[in-house]
Amino acid sequence: MNTFDRAFERILKNKDNEFNCIPFPFERFSNFIPGIERHRYYLSTANSGVGKSQITDYLFVYNAFNHYLKNKDTFKLKIFYYSLEMNKEIKIIQGMSKR
């Protein structure tokens, strides 16, 4: 099977799924980027102190986890999080206080 056929088959398969991504909670933003898709890398970049870590945590950790809690039977959630600013313990404490 060639690449085009595999891609077309994947589109047809995903067409029947209720979710093919973890939707972002912002309606207008979702018109451009629908949500978190599998096998994609997302990079947050901006000047220091403008809230990159907070928006990244909100969209890719807390929003993803809340979506998972509502739809546990439909997918597995695995988050790889690499921070150059904070150590693991601080990040976990931050997440616990958020919940």
Residues 11-40 pLDDT 10s: 887 777 767 789 999 989 888 888 998 888
Q: Are 22 and 67 in contact (CB under 8 A)?
A: yes
Q: What does the alpha-carbon distance between residue 63 and residue 35 come to, in Å, rounded to a whole number?
A: 10
- What integer pLDDT is reported at residue 87 of this predicted model? 86
Please tell me whether residue 23 adopts helix, strand or coil conformation. Answer: strand
pTM above 0.75, yes or no: no
